[in-house]
């Protein structure tokens, strides 16, 4: 039987200090992998590594990385070569931050640059620097990018987030076409709500944060469930992972009934609050 990408992998996970990233790292270790747990927060990265070591399977290597910095991703790539001695076989670009609650014209250039630096450029850096390594892995290899249903839903008050995630979707589709027929498989994850700290760690207005909290409580999937689904999909060479029913409905509506989708988005724009002051500063790894 051919080797599965997620089994006994030499993996790098960004944003591994919490949420989906931590779930990816722990699940990969459970499947026998060596995992570099990269996060901007040293304590969170270390905690993930400690949990992996306590589980008794796989191995973990915590490292501090700011994915918005090209130099940090180059340092991460160099570190992976030292740790694994063989090329990385699985790269998971997961680090991301939440931002929302203000319409275009009130977001501010600084917040645009902050959000896109992490949510989009972080994925570009990871893909550009690690894809050559994946192609040299000598075994089935994978690139997983964590986007969001925001990539195709374009909810009002979330422009900076939507644009970044739409870019991740486009990046993933492009790379998938470019590596077709090779041992490298690309998967892009597009969930709606996952039970993580993205709502509390992001630059999200108070009102928008309340909406996110309620949605996570009632329809959010656990990070562990989403991580398992995504790894299994990458093993099978599936490009898209749209886990929840609500995400699937939005995906289908926009693709097949664009006029109805547009009308619904207009209604949503009139009912979603958008004018509260910005809250806390985010930490990468949501």
**Domain boundaries of the chain, sorted by first residue:** 10-271
Q: Which residue has the tokens 């927060």?
A: 41
pLDDT class of 274 with cuts at 50, 70, 90: very low
**Measured between alpha carbons, how far is 206 from 161 in angstroms, rounded to an integer?**
16
Residue 161 designated active-site: yes
Q: Is the pLDDT of residue 223 over 80?
A: yes
8 A C-beta contact, residue 192 and residue 200: no
Helix (H) or strand (E) segment spanning residue 232: helix 223-235
pLDDT of residue 222: 87
The length of the chain, given as a count of residues: 286
> Any idea which fold 10-271 has?
Rossmann fold (3.40.50)
What predicted TM-score, i.e. pTM, was given to this entire model?
0.84
Q: Given 161, 221, 240, 261, which residue is catalytic? A: 161
pLDDT one-digit tens code per residue, 12-47: 999 999 999 999 999 999 999 999 999 999 999 999
Residue 283's nearest CA partner among 28, 5, 11, 17 is 17
Q: Taking 90 as the threshold, does the pLDDT of residue 3 lie above it?
A: no
**214, 192 Cβ separation under 8 angstroms:** no
CB atoms within 10 A of CB 238: 15
């Amino acid at each position: 039987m051919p080797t599965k990408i997620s089994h006994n992998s030499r993996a790098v996970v960004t944003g591994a200090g919490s949420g989906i990233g931590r779930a990816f790292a722990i699940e990969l270790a459970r499947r026998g992998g060596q995992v570099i747990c990269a996060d901007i927060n040293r304590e969170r990265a270390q905690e993930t590594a400690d949990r992996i070591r306590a589980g008794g399977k796989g191995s973990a290597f915590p490292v501090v990385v700011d994915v918005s910095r090209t130099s940090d991703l180059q340092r991460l790539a160099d570190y992976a070569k030292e740790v694994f001695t063989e090329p990385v076989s699985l790269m998971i670009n997961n680090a991301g931050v939440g931002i929302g609650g203000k319409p275009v014209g009130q977001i501010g250039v600084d917040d645009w640059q902050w959000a896109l630096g992490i949510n989009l450029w972080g994925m570009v850096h990871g893909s550009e620097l690690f894809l050559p390594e994946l192609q040299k892995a000598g075994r089935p290899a994978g690139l997983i990018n964590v986007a969001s249903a925001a990539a195709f839903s374009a909810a009002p008050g979330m422009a900076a987030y939507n644009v970044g995630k739409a870019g991740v979707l486009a990046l993933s589709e492009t790379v998938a076409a470019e590596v077709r027929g090779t041992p490298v498989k690309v998967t892009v994850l597009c969930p709606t709500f996952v039970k993580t700290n993205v709502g509390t760690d992001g630059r999200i207005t108070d009102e928008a944060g309340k909406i996110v909290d309620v949605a996570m409580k009632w329809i959010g999937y656990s990070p562990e469930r989403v991580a398992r689904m995504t790894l299994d999909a990458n093993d099978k060479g599936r490009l898209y992972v749209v886990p929840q029913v609500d995400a699937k409905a939005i995906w289908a509506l926009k693709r097949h009934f664009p006029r109805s989708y547009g009308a619904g988005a207009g209604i949503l724009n009139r009912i979603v609050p958008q004018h509260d002051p910005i809250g806390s500063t985010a930490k990468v790894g949501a």
